[in-house]
Each structure stands twice: as structure tokens, then as C-alpha cells.
Structure 1
Amino acid sequence: MRTTVILFFTLFSLVTFAQNYDFGKISKEELEEKYNPQDSSANATYLYKNRKTFFEYQQEKGFELITEIHERIKIYKQEGFNYATKEVNLYKSGNDDEEFSNLKAYTYNLVEGKIVDEKLTKDGIFESELNKYLNQMKFTMPNIKPGSVVEFKYRIKSPFISNIDEFVFQHDIPVVKLEATFEAPEYFKFKLNTKGFLFVSPNVEEKRDRLTFVSKTMDRGFGQVGTKTHSEEIEFKKKISKYNLTNIPALKEESFVNNINNYRSSVKYELSYTDFPNSPLKYYSTSWEDVVKTIYQNPNFGSELDKSGYYEKEIDAIVSTVSDPTQRVALILDFVKSKVNWNGYYGYYTNVGVRKAYKDQVGNAAEINLMLTSMLRYAGLSAFPVLVSTRQNGIPLFPTREGYNYIITYVRLAETIILLDATNKYSAPNVLPFRTLNWQGRVMAEHGGSQLIDLYPNEISKNSLSFMANLDENGNLNGKYRAVKTNHEALLYREENNNKNKKDFLDQLENKLGGIEISDFKVENETDLYKPIIESYNFVKENQVDVIGGKLYFSPMFFLKINENPFKLEKREFPVDFGYPTNTSYKIVIKIPEGYKVESFPEPLMFMMPDNLGSFKYNISHQENLIQLSVESQINQPIILSVYYDALKEYFSKIVEKEAEQIVLTKI
């Protein structure tokens, strides 16, 4: 009995010690842990995450928003070292900016059985200005190695009381313990928006608090002049929401997800209105119409769109040559792309302004595409700016200005609409950069109205390959390859390859195709965006058959076949986002070696996904010494919902299986 009691208290003390989340109270057990027991594949784990956001009152400034962060992270492998670097974005507007303070950070390692800590010094802290709306504080923890634990805490003071950052509960690595608190005085009324598949619910309570106001008055008593101090206390209620979660699984990247953050479990507190004593209600919660109106009325948007004097002569010269609206759109798009280079900055507000961007021939996304919209209007076309959230920014689920981060252009013609983006040198009408293909954009009318428009293209992008080859009895293959790519397939090819060194490109291609030897390589229409990309070359590839018992076995698709199903999960909760509909086709002709005949070859096959989401066709025939194969795979929708995941997974599984089927040749 005594042994049992001692064992119980020993275990209890170990658990208590391991769960001490006070700053600096790192245990040997945490440092000795080699992997996460719930997820052995994790490179790192949040042992503890704590965030508290609340309002603090200063008589000179009023209420300010305070956020305090405390994080403890265990790093298992070198691949997890990036979690030892923290980037904190700080908003600014005019004379107001967020303040970063009270940073305290240590790295802990186990050295000869003892815990050794190393403090973050100034050498590891970096401040930078990202743009005129954002500063960034970045720090990198010292002496990181596999097995380290890093811990840091800091404080952010913000004058932007309506801008509450999301409370994020699920991360790319597991979380052992998470605590989050949001406190708001009764004067602030918030709406709670939730996101993600992990269920979270706060524990809500109310407490009383008080504010103290101090005032000074002149005191002229008994012929003396002095100052008299008065203080007054006001009691108020505050609402406290607490979240307490344990063992949160990692949210891991999957194939064909537009942005994993769209599905990350989080909550967003949106300020609806303020209700202070003896003051009228002030509304903050916005509709999308409010968002559009606010953006349009900003001098860095609407006023910039109205400017035209800086380009009129050039546009007059362009439109004088053509009257067809579609041709005018294309010519003006090409003019802007050739005139102004994109500096890589996103945003829907101009930075230096359209005039200066035009003069200097460089600008951000807003300057370039507002300029484009203005020019199209000047040319007599019905053109409007479109608010877009790029794939990296996520899907704007709630009406906030932060929901969008980019601008493109919309043109309405008699029978069609055209979407344009002049930031990308290889874009064309209705062929937008891949980063912008993200659900819906918001077309902005001149007087604050808006409408949604689908950003995904309807027109299929094609990749048509032809392949003529001679096969010898030793399994060596030589022949000609040709690929024709249209729309987004052509755009992506130009983006990835046009600026590459040709030798480096060919080396990479030969390695990618398993040691193929390429000669007479040629690409047509590299810069002619209104024609397809045509890539062709001659090739030699050895050992393409298995020789068993004097028979030759090989897949007629050789190195072109799909070897692996990209969809491996048993269950998927996220939509599959291909970005655009595609058609991939192969026309293959194989001349078999003399003295051989076809003993057997795959059967033709055709199958479809439900609701016409996609189809696959496989037709093969042979005549004398020639084998002819036609394969076509088509995905008709850019997004396939998760309810179709099983069908999609089976679709690709069948393709992999079919393309691996072999032809058998035997000697005559």
C-alpha cells in the first residue's frame, strides 16, 4: 500500500511538473521528448500557446487594444527550425501605429543532463517596414538544434480598436495546450465569426471592473492659487470569453488546396458598434457595400482611377487604329504590360500614384490595374476595378477591408465579359495569373455598389501531346515529342520557363524524365500570347522494356504515364481546387522492332466521374508493326467539392492503373 501511494504521488508530481506553463518552467521531460506521441511525423509541436486580448484605458488616449502572447515550442528535427523564427506584423495608418514591447525569449537545451538556457539578444531581432501600412518585427531564437525548446512572450498595443486579429486554434504542427482569452468592456459590441472543421466554443462570463478619471482644477482659496486634483471612478461590466483546448491535431497541406488557411480552425471578433454613456451609437460592423464605398472614396483609389491626362495621347494613337472593342481591350492591355512593370506589391490602394508609376514605369498591383481600367474607360469601354483576394490571402468570408488584397480589371462587352490583369507579362484577356484564381471577385461600381463575379475560367486549358517513337529489341526508344499548350497551361509554361537558361532547363527536363537524352529542342510562340506554346524535341531513352522469356513488356505511355495517385487520404474535408478546367491528351505512335509481333495489349476503356466532372478515354489499336494509342483526360470543373472526393480518388486510381497496363511483344 505504501509503495502504491508513493508511486501515485511520484506520477502526480511528474504530470504537474510537465504541465507547468509558467514562463521559464521548462521540464527535462519536454527537452528529452524525441517526437510527438500523437503525431510522430511532426517536425515541431506547440507545447503551449497562450493569447490574451483585452482593452486598456488611458485617459489621454481612451481605450487601446492590448494583445499578450506566450508560446512554447518543441523542435524535434532540423525541418522544424523555422518555428524558431517569429514574424509579427504591425499595422500603421497616418500617425497611428501598433507598438511591440516586452519581448522576452529563451532557447532551452539539455546539456549533459542539465537544462541550459540562452537568452535572445538584440542581434536576433530585426525591424523592417513592409509597406506604408505595415511594419514587421522579426526575431530568430539562438542556438537551435534538434531537441531544443524555445519560449517567448511579447505584447502589442494597438490604437485600432476595431481590428482584432483572428484567434487561430489549429496550426501546421500539433498543439498540446492552448489557452485564449478575449475581454471586452460592455461599451463594445462584437459579432463572433467562426471558421474551420475543428469545433470550438468559448466559456463566457461577466465581471465588473472600474475606470478612474483624474481631473485638475484651479484652487484660489485664502488668496493662494493652486491646483486641486479630483478623481472619479466609473464601474462597468466586461465580457470575458475563454478558450481552453488540448491535443489539437496539425492541419496538414493536401494536394490541390487553394489555401489551407481557409479551413484552419479560428474565430474572428468583429466590432459591430460602440455604445458609450452619453454618446450616440457608433457603428463599425460593415456590409460589403460599406467596404466597397470606403475603398472607393479613399484618395488612393477613386481619385487615382479618375486621372487620365498622363496617358491620353498614347491611348488616342492606339484606339485610332481599331474600332473592334475586343481588339481595343487586347491592345490596351498589351500597352500597359509593356509600359509599366509590376514591383511585386499587392494591395488595392496606390502607393506612389498612377502618374508616377506611369512615368517611372513601375508600380504596384493597384497602380497598374487602376491605370488599365482608366485607359479602357477613356477608350469608350465599360470597365470597372475588381477587388480580389489572392490564393495566398484566402477567401474573404466576412465583410472586412482586409478580406481583399488585390485589384484586377473587368470589361463588359455586348455579349461577353473580360477579366484582365496587367501585372503579369504573360497574361491575356480572361487568362489571369494563377494567384488570382480564387473563388469570386467583387466588381466595384462608380457609386459604391458591387457585384460578385466568378474568377475561375470556364474555357478549358489544353495540353495536347504527340509522341512518335521507334522501339528496338533491346528496349531502347527514340523518336519525336511535341506538346501544344493553350490558355493557363501556356501561361504557366511561360512563367516557369521563359526566363530560364536553356541548358539548365534541358538538364532539369532530362533528369525529370528519368535520364532521357534530348536534342533539337524548340519552343514556338514564347512571347506571342495569342498563340499556343508549342514545345518539340527529339529524344533517346534506353531500357524502356522488361525482357522476360524472350518477350518484351512495356507500357505504351512509357515515361509519360501517371505513376502515382495524387489523392491518398481516406477522407478529405476540403474542396479540390485545380484552378482551371483542363484537357490533357496523348497521341502516341510506336513502331515495334522487326521480327516481333503484338501478343497482347490493353483493352480500350472509357469512364466518367459523376455529374460530368471529368472523363477519361483510352483507345489503342495495332496494325502490322505500328501501335497507335489515344489517351484523353478531362477535368471539367476548376473546383470539385469534397462530397465527390471518393469519386475523384477512384478516377485517378483507375488512370494510374490503366496507364500502367502493358503491351507484350513476342518474336515472330
Structure 2
Amino acid sequence: MLQIRTTVFLVLFAMAFSLNAQNFKFGKVSEEELKETVNPNDSSAAATVLYRSKKVRFTYNQGAGFTILTDVYERIKIYDKSGFDYATISQSLYKSDSDIESISGLKAYTYNLKNGKVEKSKMDKSAVFTTELSKYRNEEKFTLPNIKEGCVIEFQYKITSPFYYSIDEIALQYDIPINQQEISVATPEYFNFKANMKGYLAVSPKHSAKSGNINFTNKNRVSGKGLSTTSTTYSTQNIDYTIHSADYNMTDVPALKEEPFVNDINNYRSSVKYELQYIKFPQQLQENYTTTWEAVIKKIYKSDGFGLQLKSTRYFKDDLDVLIGKTSSPAELMSAIYFHVQNHMNWNSIYGYYTDKGAKTAYKERTGNIADINLILTAMLQEAGLEASPVLVSTRSHGVPMFPTREGFNYVIASVEIDGQQVLLDATNKYARPNLLPTRVLNWFGKKVRKDGSSVSINLLPSQLSEESVQMNVDLDQDGSLNGKLRHTNRYYNAYLFRNKYANSNEEDYLEKLENRNNGMEISNYQIKNKEGVGKPVQESYEFVLDKQADVIGDKIYFSPLFHLLQTENPFKLDERKYPIDFTFPRRDKYMINISIPDSYKVISKPEDMSIAMVDGIGSFQYKMLGEGQNLQLVVDLKLNHVVIGAEHYSYLKEFFKNLVEKQTEKVVLSKISSNGTTESTGKGR
């Protein structure tokens, strides 16, 4: 009996080992993979990475030195049409002067099950496109052929990079599940890299070491004596060195799920970033790279594309003299310089803290990248005698720079000290203004760079509440329709967002979208104030007619007093949350609704008042109904005072919005008045 149990155990163990150690060979897609209709661990997944391999290694070529080779291989199962996008693959390729990353050995196939047989479709070379995204980056993109529901795709290629000092961040988590992945990074002992982990997955790489070898061929010329000719001799030299490897072997990696109010979901994607600390070759001095914020900032500041641009001022001297002559205080001078640069320059949509064209050329051509424009702004402020400094920033889409690295930044703005107060400036957006930065920049903190190259962290998050207020007067008809007038006012960041989205739009198109967004209302007598008046509130007003805003059942009418403005869903649905909640900026929503009910009806039930507040002053909500007779007034006031709320407060926030939504969806109940002045029914409605 014991022998039988032992045999069964060994068989089961062997089967389990075989399944876990499945050998994924390019071109060997099974019927089982094609027949799979859903991911067993995530039924919502539109696709699944069945297997993924990424191997990063260094190779040495005499004359060229070290280069980085990255071998990429992926096999992906696509379940339905919503997963078709995963059949388009893009790869960023960096370049600098004559150095450029390249792709070779690209192979890609699609597999479908047709009449019980595996059908294989090869991707044609014409499906591969290379696009120049910027001065520093190309993109190679390809789409696999014959994509259908249930298909499996696979592709492989090699990236060759001359940038031996930089290993691209390696994502360990996708937007879809990954069944199995094998990631390896092998670096020579001469390059000391530090691995920085990001995300919430528990990742424990396996470290190992092995020997590597470099063969040098030395060429020697020996001159003969007298009439004898010069002879050439060759010798070889072998150098042994150690290769350090880190292997990340992972199974059943969950998809990174998008959640509401996240600054950028990629900031929380599990990944590993290798940051070069130093290079030390035999018989050579150690070359140190970024190890502290101080070292990072000083290296950036000393570069020609950054610090040198602040010293060149002659090209704008005449314009600056005019601005100085028109102002009488530091605050006026700062504003004058800011609005001059904002109006004079046009952003070319390229990010960067190093100038693209150079400040002088950009000023002459009136166009440039982020650094061109904001370093011009900083230089003019400094030349005018103001206490101005550049501020290095990472945009919301670029992530939060948690570790000292030059790659952690991709943007630069300006700061000025006026009467002891710090003012932040970005002249690249036509609707920004002093202390109102483009929302792409509102990302935790920046590094203000002083004139000696030192730096200090500064908070980029705004504290002023951005207000959206609605005042609405409506007449409710017996059939449940509304006739009303509405005034909608947006202030501060709400006004900024409105202008960026709608300032240049056609009014007819805008009104059509507004009507559709509000359940098909009919709008008339539309007026708008301060549509392009930067710094002023945007104010819209119009009259409208809107059907089906109340339920008429028998002798009763039921309606939410917020009508089409109510919030019907709690945006926070998950049981728990790992990521901070980011509202971009603090906000306040105010509603005042004046309602006239039909003369033949009487209020028999209305929502009770509510006032709730969150812990630590995070937010508050007030709901109050006033009035009597045929006139009601609803006042709603929602405040979210903090920009970023830690995940530890998620349960409170979820409960807060649950109460908010429930209160907004509560009904006012009207009952028809009989001829003798009483209600025709004593029921209190549903």
C-alpha cells in the first residue's frame, strides 16, 4: 500500500513539474492554447500573455566597445475583439547623434484553429512601420495579420543598443494577465547597476554569477633596418571577467487594473529599473554616475542644454527693456515677462529639460520644446533682477522620481520669489498663468535648482479649491418635463480645463455635445463670458427644456431635486485599493437648485438634510432642502480639500461617496391636490 501511494505521489509530482516547466518554443502553438476561451484566473481578461521572455545582456565588439542586446519573445492569447489591440506591438528606440538603437531578427505569426487544424499566418514586412517621435526617440510598430477571436500570436526580435550605460525600465506586469514570464538581466562586473523595484507585487529575483571572456587582437608594426620593409605582427589577449545575473521567473502575474482617480496607472505598475552607479574598468579610474540628488542636479545644471542657456541673455535684451519700462513693482514685472514669453513662444509638443534648438534660436523662431520656452522665461526673470530659478519636474505620465536619476525628470518650469512667496510658472500653455501650472505638471514635487547647482524639493500640488458652481431655476411640469435657466461657473483649474478643451471649438458643435451629455436637452439663448479670459471664471448661461426628469405614477410625481445633475454611481467600487487616490487638484462643487412645482401638486415627502465630513479634513458634503408650498430650494456643497489621499483612507472615501450618491438619488414626492384642498392619497410614495 505504501509503495502504491509513493508511486502515485511521484507521478503527480512529475506531472505538476512538467506543467510548471512548460517549454515554450517559437512556432509550437498547441490546440489547447487555441481552444482556451477564458483566462481561468481572470474571466474579465480580453487577452493573456501565455509566455514572455526578455533577456538583457552585454556583448563586446573590438572598436565599438560594449553594447546591450535585448532578446524579446512573447506569446499572447486573444479571447475576444476587445483584445485585438494587443496584436499591435510598439517598441521605443532611443537615439543620440549618430548612436541609435535598432531592431533585428523580427519574426511574428498569428495562429488560428480552422477545421480542427492549426492555421499559421506570417506577418509581412510591410506591416512594420518606423516613426520619428522626437529628436531623441523613434518608434517601431507592427501589427500581426489575420487577427480573430480565439487566436494566438507570437513574436520575437532583438534590440541592439549602443547606450551601454542605460538599461530600459523592465515592466513585470501588463494590463492583461501573464501566465509565465522569464526575465534575466546579465551585466559585466565593470558596470555597477542598482536595481530599483516599483509596484506592489512581491518580486524576489534569483542572483547568480558566471565567467565571461573578451578576446582582443593587437596589431603591431615593426620597422626594419636599412632597406628592409616594415613587418606586421598580430597577437591575441584574453580577459576573463565576472557576469552578474538576476533572474525574475514569475507565474500567474495579475493584470494591472485601471482605477479611477490615479495620476498615471503606470506609476504603480510592477517593474524594475536598473540605475548605473559607476563604471570601473581594469587599470582605469572609477567613473561615478548618479548616486545622489545633489550629483544628479549638478550634472544637469552644468550641461550646455540647461545651465548655459540661462547665461545667454543678449537676444532678448531689447524686449526686456520695454517690459521693465512699463512696470513699477516686482510682481508686475514678473507677470509682464511671463505673459510676454507665453504669447511670444509656441510649444512644439516635445518634452524635455534640455533645450532642443537652444534658447536663442527658439526665441527667434518663436517655437521650441518645454526647456526652450521655460529656460527663456527663467533667464529673462533673472536678467530683470528677480529671484528666479528653474525647477526640474516629472510629469504625471512620466511617474514620480523616487530614486536619484536624471531620467526621473522630463520637464522644467520656473519659480520666482516675490515678497517672500514662491510663484510657479510654465509659459508653454496659453491658458496657464502664474501659480496655475498645466495639469500635466501637478505631480507631487519638483527640484528647484539654485545658481550654485544645489537644489531643494518644492511642492507642486495646488492648495486653492477649484470651484464648479451651478445655479438653476426650473419649472417642473405635470408630465415630468423641465423648463429652466442655468448658470454654470468654472473657476481656477476648472476654468483652465474648460478653455483647453473648448476655447477653440465651434459653438454649434459644443452645444450639440452639451445637449447630448444632458439627456438630450434643448438649449436656447446660450451665452458665455470669459471664454478666453485667462485668470477669470468661465461663466455659461442658457435656457433649456428637458423631458422625462420625473416619474409620474398615478396621482404622484417622483423626482430627484438635482435632476440631470445628480451623480448616480460611486466611482470607488473595489473592496480594497493599493494605490493613492489622486484628484489632480482640490475642488469644490456647489449647486443651488430653485424648483417650482405644479400648482395642483403638494410636497408630501422630501429628502432629509445631510452633513458629513471625512477624517483629517479630507472632504465634506452638505445637502439641504429649503422652501415650502410650490417653491423648493436645494443647496448641495461638496468639498475635496486634499489632492492626494492615501490608500489607507480608501474605505472612508468609498463610504463617503456611497452616502453622497444615495442622498442625491433620494426622491421628492408630490401628490395631486383634490378639489377640496387635500391630497388625493395619503400614501407616502415609494
What TM-score range do you get, normalising by the shorter chain? Answer: over 0.9
Where does 1:452-467 land on structure 2 (aligned, <5 Å)? 452-467=457-472
Deviation at 1:316, TM superposition (A): 2.1
1:93 — aligned with what? 96
Counterpart amino acid of 2:37?
A: K
**Segment drifting more, 75-84 vs 570-579:** 75-84
Where does 1:214-613 land on structure 2 (aligned, <5 Å)? 214-218=217-221, 226-613=231-618
Counterpart amino acid of 1:453?
A: I
- Does the 8 Å contact 1:545/1:553 carry over to 2? yes
Deviation at 1:264, TM superposition (A): 1.0
1:629 — aligned with what? 634
Quick one: distance in 2 between partners of 1:625 and 1:273?
Answer: 78
Quick one: distance in 2 between partners of 1:39 and 1:533?
Answer: 45
- Does the 8 Å contact 2:278/2:287 carry over to 1? yes
Where does 1:41-120 land on structure 2 (aligned, <5 Å)? 41-120=44-123
Deviation at 1:92, TM superposition (A): 2.0
2:684 — aligned with what? none
State yes or no: 1:641 paired with 2:655: no
Q: Deviations over 1:457-491 (max 9, x none)?
A: 01111111101111122222111101111110100
Deviation at 1:627, TM superposition (A): 0.4
- Cα gap change, 1:17/1:391 in structure 2, threshold over 3 Å: closer, same or farther? closer
Deviation at 1:656, TM superposition (A): 0.4
- Matched residue of 2:472: which SS? strand
Q: Deviations over 1:91-128 (max 9, x none)?
A: 22233222322222222222222222222222011223
- Cα gap change, 1:362/1:451 in structure 2, threshold over 3 Å: closer, same or farther? same
- Does the 8 Å contact 1:517/1:540 carry over to 2? yes
Quick one: distance in 2 between partners of 1:310 and 1:131?
Answer: 26
Pairs aligned (count) = 663
Quick one: distance in 2 between partners of 1:30 and 1:638?
Answer: 45
Quick one: distance in 2 between partners of 1:224 and 1:526?
Answer: 86
Q: TM-score, normalised by structure 2?
A: 0.93
Quick one: distance in 2 between partners of 1:444 and 1:174?
Answer: 42
Q: Deviations over 1:417-462 (max 9, x none)?
A: 1111111111111111111111111111122111111111011111
- Matched residue of 2:315: which SS? coil
Counterpart amino acid of 1:87?
A: S
Residue of 21, 26, 30 corresponding to 2:29: 26
Quick one: distance in 2 between partners of 1:320 and 1:639?
Answer: 43
2:192 — aligned with what? 189
Counterpart amino acid of 2:177?
A: P
**Segment drifting more, 188-197 vs 229-238:** 229-238
- Matched residue of 1:646: which SS? helix
**Segment drifting more, 89-98 vs 628-637:** 89-98
Deviation at 1:540, TM superposition (A): 0.9
Deviation at 1:328, TM superposition (A): 2.4
- Matched residue of 1:310: which SS? helix
- Does the 8 Å contact 1:18/1:29 carry over to 2? no
- Matched residue of 2:153: which SS? strand
- Matched residue of 1:370: which SS? helix
Deviation at 1:243, TM superposition (A): 1.2
- Does the 8 Å contact 1:18/1:27 carry over to 2? no
- Cα gap change, 1:27/1:427 in structure 2, threshold over 3 Å: closer, same or farther? same
- Does the 8 Å contact 2:87/2:153 carry over to 1? yes
Deviation at 1:220, TM superposition (A): 8.5
Q: Deviations over 1:37-65 (max 9, x none)?
A: 21121121111111111111222222222
1:148 — aligned with what? 151
Quick one: distance in 2 between partners of 1:16 and 1:654?
Answer: 49
**Segment drifting more, 215-224 vs 181-190:** 215-224
2:683 — aligned with what? none
- Matched residue of 1:556: which SS? coil
2:682 — aligned with what? none
Counterpart amino acid of 2:200?
A: F
Deviation at 1:274, TM superposition (A): 2.5
Mark the runs of 5 or more structure 1 residues left unpaired by the alignment.
Answer: none
- Cα gap change, 1:478/1:105 in structure 2, threshold over 3 Å: closer, same or farther? same
Q: Deviations over 1:374-396 (max 9, x none)?
A: 22223322111111111111111
Residue of 94, 111, 134 corresponding to 2:137: 134
1:200 — aligned with what? 203
- Does the 8 Å contact 1:257/1:577 carry over to 2? yes
Counterpart amino acid of 1:380?
A: G
- Cα gap change, 1:415/1:564 in structure 2, threshold over 3 Å: closer, same or farther? same
Q: TM-score, normalised by structure 1?
A: 0.95
- Does the 8 Å contact 2:605/2:668 carry over to 1? yes
Quick one: distance in 2 between partners of 1:495 and 1:341?
Answer: 15
2:181 — aligned with what? 178
- Does the 8 Å contact 2:394/2:400 carry over to 1? yes
Quick one: distance in 2 between partners of 1:174 and 1:602?
Answer: 45
Deviation at 1:240, TM superposition (A): 1.6
* Percent of residue pairs bearing the same amino acid type: 47
Counterpart amino acid of 2:580?
A: P
Q: Deviations over 1:542-594 (max 9, x none)?
A: 22222233011111111111111111010000000001100111111111111
Q: Deviations over 1:307-328 (max 9, x none)?
A: 2222222222223222132232
Q: CA RMSD in A?
A: 2.2
Counterpart amino acid of 2:114?
A: V
Quick one: distance in 1 between partners of 2:547 and 2:140?
Answer: 55
Deviation at 1:304, TM superposition (A): 2.0
Counterpart amino acid of 1:512?
A: R
- Cα gap change, 1:224/1:310 in structure 2, threshold over 3 Å: closer, same or farther? closer
Q: Deviations over 1:146-170 (max 9, x none)?
A: 2222211111222222211122111
Q: Deviations over 1:608-635 (max 9, x none)?
A: 0001100011111122221011110000
Residue of 43, 49, 68 corresponding to 1:40: 43
- Does the 8 Å contact 1:565/1:652 carry over to 2? yes
Deviation at 1:502, TM superposition (A): 1.2
Deviation at 1:12, TM superposition (A): 5.4
Q: Deviations over 1:257-283 (max 9, x none)?
A: 001111111112222222322222221
- Does the 8 Å contact 2:584/2:644 carry over to 1? yes
Deviation at 1:224, TM superposition (A): 8.0
- Cα gap change, 1:188/1:358 in structure 2, threshold over 3 Å: closer, same or farther? closer
